[in-house]
Amino acid sequence: MDLLAAAGAAPSASEFYSPIPDGYRKGQHKYVAVLGTVMSGLGKGIFASSMAKVLKDKGLRVAPIKMEGYLNIDAGTLNPYRHGEVFVLDDGTECDMDLGTYERMLDQNLTRRNFVTSGRIYSEILDRERQGVYLGRDVQMIPHVTGEVKRKLRELAIRGDGTGPADVVFIEVGGTVGDYENGFYIEALRELAFEEGPGSVCFVALTYVIEPKTLGEQKSKAAQLGIKRLLEAGIQPHLIACRSSNPAQRKVMEKIAMFSNVPLRRVFSMHDRESIYTIPDDMRSGGLDREVLSVLSLHDRVDTRHEDQARRAWAEFERKLTGERSREVTIGITGKYAELRDAYASIEKAVEHCSVHLDCHVNQRWIETTEVSEENVAEKLSGLDGVIVPGGFGSRGVDGKIACVKYCRENGVPYLGICLGFQVAVIEFARNVLGLTDASSTEFDPSCDTPVISELPDQKKIEGLGGTMRLGAQDVKIMPGSLAHFLAGGRTSMRERFRHRYEVDPTFIERLESRGMVFSGRHPEQPIMQILELRSSAPAQDEGEPVSITHPYFIGAQFHPELTGRPLRPQPLFMGLVAAAIRARYESLDPDRWAQMKREPDLSRWLNSPSSTEQRV
Ligand code: GLN
């Protein structure tokens, strides 16, 4: 009985199990639940995060949660090919890429509480079952599993993401209504709405309006049928978002509204746009914000001063985002998932933020590294003003990445190496500058004689793959006078997010540095190298030729800078790269224009002068 009480469970005689966390007051908390119909992958996260931003701008505290149907405990072992990038939170949670959309849109750090999978819910329930928490009861989908879902939502409502209670919890359920694997989430939401009472949960159905080429017009039937499934599950949507390629036609929206019992003013066209960052304002101009406030009776909680301020800052960003850019560059992103851009979603976004702030259209060219070799690298990278070698796992495509690094280093092409891209920069330097021709990583070659990259001592002790990585945010100590220091605006510390198992073997650091590689970012106490760059020239060595490394921008990060880039606070390593790419394109091509450009304060802030690098380090 004590255990039951501790779990907040009802006595075993009752049919109900709806744990209410301490301090929770039923009916006082508000929820917006976004559910998919017709098909998945349409942007529930984009809708939910845009709506959450609109409410946050009004001074309300918002807390999003993504509920995944799969049985994995987290997203750590998922293949980015199948599921898109694995996004890492500050606390080390490996989660769905939608959490990245929420963090960027809301400019808010999320935690483990903002993400849940069926696997985690089941595993917690099974643990409790073994502890005897449900003693005397058969543990069932309803009420126990649904009860745990409601508990998680209510806990999020009272704690928020660690900073205090949330005014509105935004719930996004993965997949579509009718999937077996997410059925219990939808049932839990129906129960939640019933228990909390009217005006507590606002349901949004995100649906899809098809436009078959052969017909040349939009059809609403699939959307109607999709929403019917939601009605069959006992949920009446309050709002409908119509995903479509072109703006949803009025006639189509009227039909959908009529068949779903939803007034037309609560049906929103979420057609394809050049950028998702214009959606919050479109929602406002469509009056959708007022509709949500009405459903949840939140009008009197709006802080208009806060809203005006937030809107002004965003409007400036949006004006630049949608305006013509005065220049353009092309940046290559080399990876092995290059054909599937979702695998690099945050990189694409981080670059987009910089392109807005630097008034530069950035063409992103995706390069499949398995097709790159020493012989064809010049041709594969031709026309690029900068190169990003992103993170990755396993040996496939690594030789191509090393060839890319060598080409960039030798030809002065601006380079940003991320995680694996940092590691291959070390391997390439060891092989081609230090002459350690068999240098490699124990990840690709476990019996390698010169393992310049090898497993972290702490990680070696852990068996298996799931959960053995160095994960989450860590401080990076920055060397004064370095390029990293310049990019960080003179700060000597940054906090960045990691997800790796291997690192630079400390026994090679001295040799690497003696020939011009500078480890300008390090763990504050341990010998873990976190940022590398090149000195502009390296001293002659007894055992080799003097090397001259005048490079305009060559930087590598053991962490993932793309995870912390935000629309209004672009990530410095990416800003430096795009600025260097602008210089690479215009300095020799159009010297007069360049002379003008480099005086622009927004650009010159990020232009590192290669000649001063030498003096600095
Ligand atoms: N595979 C490398 C490691 O585990 C790099 C990881 C990454 O790029 N995220 O250390």
pLDDT digits (tens, 9 = 90+) for 474-524: 999 999 999 999 999 999 999 999 999 999 999 999 999 999 999 999 999
Among the listed residues 353, 360, 419, 551, the single catalytic one is: 419
Task: Give the H or E element holding residue 202.
Answer: strand 201-208
C-alpha atoms less than 13 angstroms from C-alpha of 145 in its C-beta half-sphere? 21
Q: In this structure, which residue's CA is closest to atom 8 in ligand 1?
A: 391
pLDDT value at position 339? 61
CB 26 within 8 A of CB 196: yes
Ligand 1 centroid from CA 394, angstroms: 8
Q: For Cα atoms 338, 341, 347, give the angle at the middle one, nearest 5 degrees.
A: 95
Q: How far is the CA of 387 from the centre of ligand 1 (A)?
A: 18
Helix (H, G, I), strand (E, B) or coil at 197: coil
Q: Average model confidence (pLDDT) for the chain? A: 90
Q: Any residues with CB less than 8 A from the CB of 426 and at least 6 apart, and which? A: 452, 453, 504, 508, 512, 517, 532, 556
Ligand 1 centre from 283 Cα, in Å? 39
pLDDT tens digits, one per residue of 289-315: 999 999 999 999 999 999 999 999 999
Domains and CATH numbers, the chain: 3-317 (3.40.50.300), 324-614 (3.40.50.880)
* Catalytic site includes residue 357: no
Which residues are CB-contacts of 31 (< 8 A; sequence separation ≥ 6)? 153, 157, 168, 169, 170, 171, 192, 193, 196, 200, 201, 202
The Cα-based distances of 389 to 337, 366, 419, 451 in angstroms read 12, 10, 9, 20
The whole-model pTM stands at: 0.92
Please enumerate in sequence order all residues whose Cβ is within 8 A of that of 169, keeping only pairs 6 or more positions apart, or say none.
29, 30, 31, 32, 62, 63, 64, 65, 153, 156, 157
**Ligand 1 environment, Cβ below 6 A:** 391-393, 419-420, 423, 443, 499-502
* 560 included as an active-site residue: yes
Ligand 1 atom 1: the closest Cα is on which residue? Answer: 393
What is the atom index within ligand 1 of the atom nearest the CA of 419? 8
In whole angstroms, what separates CA 11 from the centre of its chain? 42
Mean pLDDT along residues 591-596: 94
**Residue whose CA lies nearest to ligand 1 atom number 9:** 391
pLDDT at 82: 77
pLDDT of residue 6: 45
d(CA 117, ligand 1 centre) in Å: 24
Q: 229 with 208: CB under 8 angstroms?
A: no
Q: Tell me the longest C-alpha to C-alpha distance in the chain.
A: 83
Look up 419 and say whether it is catalytic: yes
